[in-house]
Amino acid sequence: MVVDDSVVIRGMISRWIGAEPDMEVVASLRTGLDAVNQLERFNPDVAVLDIEMPDLDGISALPQLLAKKRDLVIIMASTLTRRNAEISLKALSLGASDYIPKPESTREATAAETFRHDLIQKIRHLGAKARRSPVHTTASPPLAPGHDKPRTGLAPVAAPAAPTQITRRSFGLLQPKVLLIGSSTGGPQALMSLVAEIGPVIDRVPVLITQHMPPTFTTILAEHLARTSKRPAHEGIDGESIRPGQIYLAPGGRHMRIARHGIDATIVLDDGPPVNFCKPAVDPMFTSAIDVWQGSIMSVILTGMGSDGMRGGKDIVAAGGSVIAQDEASSVVWGMPGAAVNAGICAAVLPLNQIASKLVRVFAGDRS
């Protein structure tokens, strides 16, 4: 279900979705009120929900939609303004599954292949997980206008095959001197939960985070991380020294690498091409950290689509460091952590609510 007051945006997104063999647009609506009133009629698996609309805006429609269908996947769509970034992050806390920044103009949108790629991938992965969920409704929805047969929505997707044997590695023998975290879809909520519980780790070592996010969104996220952790948190600044007690977040649109400058570790912002379709990407941060800290690295790969972080994680483990991955059940999408697990590089695979306590123990000297 596509909900946007711009007929151009609605038409464009609907054409993109309609071109995919495993997706179907069941409704194209102008306002949040239309979406709430017609939810039962169309029974979508996924709603792409604009923020700024007449009658009922996206953030107001969100809880009403979820009250009617609690397993509905809602992807918030908004232009890149500070206000919309704030609203999108608030929407995640209210139950939205994800967000996507829209190009500033319809002319830009028409040519925005990245927007199309990201939107389709989010719909596919989040929708597939919803259809595997035990609470997902299996009732056949009524006919949508213009359809001569019941719609099937997203094609049924089998759960990803579990590896026949998960290889667990021992934790590195060296005391970690830094904590590196990579995340994507579902990451903002996971990061908030994690940083709230790892105060003793932050006080001991620097924490560097790459979250797949556009500019402006990372500015807001850093502010939220500071409030939640009660520790200083900000977007990394090119050339700044890295200190214990601080959280550094890769700024949207730039890769954040680490380099040695004299006796200091410093941040290097990189405006190079996307890595793993992402900018910022986790792999550049992971791999560059080895030149500074060698095997004294603890890394965590949280929920997210794709496999970003897996190659960098391999390098960290080869250098003597360690990787912890979030488990599938607690991940919004088990792409990134799943890739690390299946690559056999993880010392632990844990539910989100157990990662913080494990990190506190590891940084206190526990290598078990």
50 is catalytic: no
Which CATH number characterizes residue 223's domain?
3.40.50.180
The predicted structure's pLDDT at residue 132 = 66
The predicted structure's pLDDT at residue 155 = 42
CA separation (Å) from 250 to 137, 255, 267, 317? 39, 7, 10, 22
pLDDT in tens, 145-168: 333 333 334 444 444 444 446 778
Q: Are residues 208 and 116 in the same domain?
A: no
Whether residue 153 is contained in a domain is answered as no
184 is catalytic: yes
The predicted structure's pLDDT at residue 102 = 85
Domain membership of residue 280 as a residue range:
178-363
The predicted structure's pLDDT at residue 147 = 37
Query: By the 8 A CB rule, do 59 and 36 touch?
Result: no
pLDDT in tens, 82-139: 999 999 999 999 999 999 988 776 555 544 788 898 999 999 999 987 666 655 443 3
Outline where DSSP puts E strands in the chain.
2-3, 28-29, 46-50, 73-79, 98-102, 178-183, 207-211, 233-235, 247-249, 255-261, 264-270, 297-301, 322-326, 348-350
308 is catalytic: yes
pLDDT at 344 > cutoff 90 = yes
CA separation (Å) from 157 to 27, 125, 300? 22, 10, 28
Q: Are residues 200 and 316 in the same domain?
A: yes
Structure tokens at 262: 């004299």
In this predicted structure, which of 33-42, 81-90, 334-343 has the lowest mean pLDDT?
81-90
The predicted structure's pLDDT at residue 345 = 97
Q: Are residues 330 and 205 in the same domain?
A: yes
- Number of domains the chain is built from: 2
Mean pLDDT, to the nearest integer, of 177-187?
97
The predicted structure's pLDDT at residue 187 = 96
Q: Which of 88, 183, 184, 296 is catalytic?
A: 184
The predicted structure's pLDDT at residue 278 = 92
Q: Are residues 196 and 253 in the same domain?
A: yes
Mean pLDDT, to the nearest integer, of 320-332?
97
Query: By the 8 A CB rule, do 125 and 103 touch?
Result: no
Q: Which of 34, 118, 212, 255 is catalytic?
A: 212
Nearest to 207 by CA among 284, 272, 265, 269: 265
Whether residue 227 is contained in a domain is answered as yes
pLDDT in tens, 69-80: 999 999 999 888
Mean pLDDT, to the nearest integer, of 258-281?
94
Q: Are residues 269 and 186 in the same domain?
A: yes
Q: Which of 57, 98, 118, 308 is catalytic?
A: 308
pLDDT at 141 > cutoff 50 = no
Which CATH number characterizes residue 122's domain?
3.40.50.2300
The predicted structure's pLDDT at residue 109 = 52
Mean pLDDT, to the nearest integer, of 258-275?
94
Q: What is the pTM of this model?
A: 0.88
Q: Are residues 261 and 115 in the same domain?
A: no
